[in-house]
Structure 1
Amino acid sequence: MATTRDELSPEAQAFLKALASPTRQAIMWEFADGELTVTEVAERLGLAQSAASTHLATLRDAGLLISRREWKTVHYRPDPAAFLRSLEDLRGHLLACCPPAETDTGGDD
């Protein structure tokens, strides 16, 4: 949860920064098919392998991806628990600074 009304947790800040890039958003969609390597991400999105690697590292560092090494190949997959924690932190922050308006019940005044 955020430490003050104005401040998001470092995890939520990293989450927003990581997903601010349209390329990283596209990469996250590619994981619908399962685990991917840097090479697979690069091929699917038409990226240079170095660019794909940089984007994947940003997503991993933000806690959105888990990686595992198999020989020289690194496989990536989403970390749903981290994703949900960041969303919950953002929700808490939004509710703290912008509480929902009272709903009109439709009654006569």
Structure 2
Amino acid sequence: MTDTASDVFAALAHPTRRQILQDLKDGELAAGEIAARFQATGPTISRHLGVLRQAGLVTERRDANRILYSLAGERLALSVGDFLSTVCPEQIVLRQVRKRSTGQPAETQA
């Protein structure tokens, strides 16, 4: 897993990967269940899952001969939230309020 926002946003760039994340919001799914929801081939969906896993947006676990995928929602929320807080004035204010409430020094605005 990598820790760069670029990997997260690259993973989010493809509509199939965004749909996979939406499908996982209600819980864990087997790779075959995910693939059955798309017209793409199994290997194509597997590559999409690999991109999501590499970006840290999904986790996988083995159950006998099945691979089960889960949404790593906190990672997604933190990555997108961190980006938004740097470009959205309202988010900048909210970040400063959060820092003050946790005792961290607030950033100064230019």
Q: Does TM-score exceed 0.5, indicating one fold?
A: yes
Q: CA RMSD in A?
A: 1.9
**How far apart, in 1, do the equivalents of 2:60 and 2:20 lie?**
14
2:97 aligns with none
The letter of the residue matching 1:88 is G
**How far apart, in 2, do the equivalents of 1:18 and 1:78 lie?**
13
Aligned length: 89
Higher helix share: 2
**How far apart, in 2, do the equivalents of 1:52 and 1:38 lie?**
8
Please say if residues 17 and 48 of structure 2, whose CA atoms lie closer than 8 Å, have aligned partners that are also in contact. yes
TM-score by length of 1: 0.72
Deviates more, 1:25-34 or 1:40-49: 25-34
2:72 is aligned, of 74, 79, 88, to 79
Deviates more, 1:55-64 or 1:23-32: 23-32
Per chain length, whose mean CA-contact separation is higher, i.e. which structure has more relative contact order (CA < 8 Å, sep 6+)?
Answer: 1
1:49 aligns with 42
TM-score by length of 2: 0.71
Moved over 6 A (4+): none
**How far apart, in 2, do the equivalents of 1:82 and 1:42 lie?**
23
* Displacement of 1:80: 1.4
* Displacement of 1:15: 1.1
1:30-45 equivalences in 2 (<5 Å): 30-45=23-38
Structure 1 residues 84 and 32: CA distance shift in structure 2, 3 A: closer
**How far apart, in 1, do the equivalents of 2:25 and 2:59 lie?**
14
Matched, 1:89 2:82: yes
